[in-house]
């Protein structure tokens, strides 16, 4: 490894890819957003004609995409999770199982529903370990939130079997996997409900926004009531049969809905391109004995914007990542970004410390809760081990064959040095 060629990085030009979503902004987004302004209708319940509402059109699109009976547009992915939990009857005294690797909002949504999050290990797919899920079930467990992390579908067959046998509600967190599937079924359509996010870091964006899909009439009606404190009083929602109860104001504006609607029309094309890019890279590095590719529970359903592989130890992963970066390919071990990554449970400070908005009354100490969940920084050692040994490379739909070749050559060159 001492030749002059070996000291020349594989890639010298910048890795100049932006976000998946906003990089696609174009005439469709402009037309729909300006159309809202032309109609002078930025609030979805202005007037009785649903067909004039972009939020209604967005909901219809996701009903068609997922095959779900109902869809409810809200103002954020977290709002979608909270609304779905409330819709499913989750509340004080209940426990909800969440994976140790997900954005903090998943656990926060459980707390906002006044339930207690129970954190379990992920496996080498970096999604919820079904074995850990079953081991964590107690008499107080009401629901489980599998998270399709980094666009990778969870092991839904195993999770659904356990949930069905143990009587648990399954609410899929699809925030990072819009456009993904599992064995031919759209992610979000497998559990009792599925929750999407349109925040700017997601595959499609409205800046902020979210959506709940479900086939459960009661869950949809209760979620609708909760997402709008006056929902049952709008004339166009008189068909809701559930009794009124206090809710939030999580409604999505027509401007956000228009942007999400335009962006959502591009999902399939973006995902198709990403799958081509990822498969071409993995096919060219799968023979390397120095690394182990992340297993995908259903490769055909992977959204494919993240390439992850493992080294035998965290120290080797750190060195490999540094060498790969010198070859011109931005990457990182998932747990060494130089800041407290809020996707990793040990950095969910207010959860670890059982700290609520009120010191006197939290989901952990309220009179309704009879369980005793404890948290610690090292409670999920398998998760921390997988994350410590993982190297992630972000993929983008605008990558060319030349860009893919740079990634392949850089990984192979780095592996040869190990």
- What positions carry a catalytic annotation? 202
287 SS3 class: coil
122 contacts: CB under 8 Å, gap ≥ 6: 99, 100, 101, 128, 129, 149, 380, 382, 383, 386
Other Cβ atoms less than 10 A from the Cβ of 401: the count is 10
**How far is C-alpha 333 from the chain's CA centre?**
19
Here the tokens at position 85 are 């939990």
């Amino acid at each position: 490894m001492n030749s002059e060629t070996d000291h020349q990085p594989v890639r010298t030009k910048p890795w100049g890819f932006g976000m998946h979503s906003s990089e696609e902004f174009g005439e469709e987004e402009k037309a729909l957003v300006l159309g809202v302004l032309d109609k002078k209708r930025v609030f979805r319940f202005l007037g009785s004609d649903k067909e004039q509402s972009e939020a209604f059109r967005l909901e219809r699109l996701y009903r068609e995409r997922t095959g779900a009976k109902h869809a409810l547009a809200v103002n954020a992915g977290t709002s979608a999770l909270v609304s779905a939990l409330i819709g499913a009857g989750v509340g004080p005294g209940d426990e909800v199982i969440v994976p140790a690797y997900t954005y903090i909002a998943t656990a926060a949504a459980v707390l906002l529903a006044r339930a207690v999050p129970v954190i379990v290990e992920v496996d080498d797919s970096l999604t919820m370990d079904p074995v850990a899920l079953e081991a964590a079930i107690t008499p107080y467990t009401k629901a489980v939130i599998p998270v399709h992390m980094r666009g990778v579908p969870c092991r839904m067959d195993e999770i659904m079997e356990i949930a069905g046998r143990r009587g648990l509600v399954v609410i899929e967190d699809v925030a990072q996997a819009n456009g993904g599937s599992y064995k031919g079924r759209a992610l979000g359509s497998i559990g009792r409900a599925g929750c999407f996010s349109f925040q700017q870091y997601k595959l499609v964006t409205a800046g902020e926004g979210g959506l709940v899909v479900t086939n459960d009439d009661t869950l949809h009606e209760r979620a609708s009531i909760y997402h709008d404190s006056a929902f049952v009083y709008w004339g166009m929602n008189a068909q809701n049969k559930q009794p009124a109860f206090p809710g939030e104001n999580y409604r999505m504006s027509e401007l956000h809905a228009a942007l999400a609607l335009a962006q959502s029309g591009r999902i399939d094309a973006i995902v198709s391109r990403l799958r081509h890019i990822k498969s071409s890279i993995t096919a060219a590095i799968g023979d390397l004995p120095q690394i182990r590719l992340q297993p995908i529970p259903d490769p055909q359903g992977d959204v494919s914007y993240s390439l992850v592989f493992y080294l035998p130890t965290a120290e080797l992963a750190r060195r490999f990542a540094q060498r790969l970066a010198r070859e011109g390919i931005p990457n990182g071990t998932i747990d060494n970004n130089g800041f407290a990554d809020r996707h990793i449970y040990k950095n969910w400070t207010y959860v670890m410390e059982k700290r609520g908005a009120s010191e006197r009354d939290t989901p952990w100490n309220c009179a309704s809760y009879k369980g005793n969940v404890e948290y610690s920084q090292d409670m999920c050692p398998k998760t921390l081990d997988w994350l410590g040994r993982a190297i992630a490379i972000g993929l983008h739909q605008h990558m060319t064959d030349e860009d893919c070749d740079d990634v392949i050559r850089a990984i192979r060159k780095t592996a040869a040095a190990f």
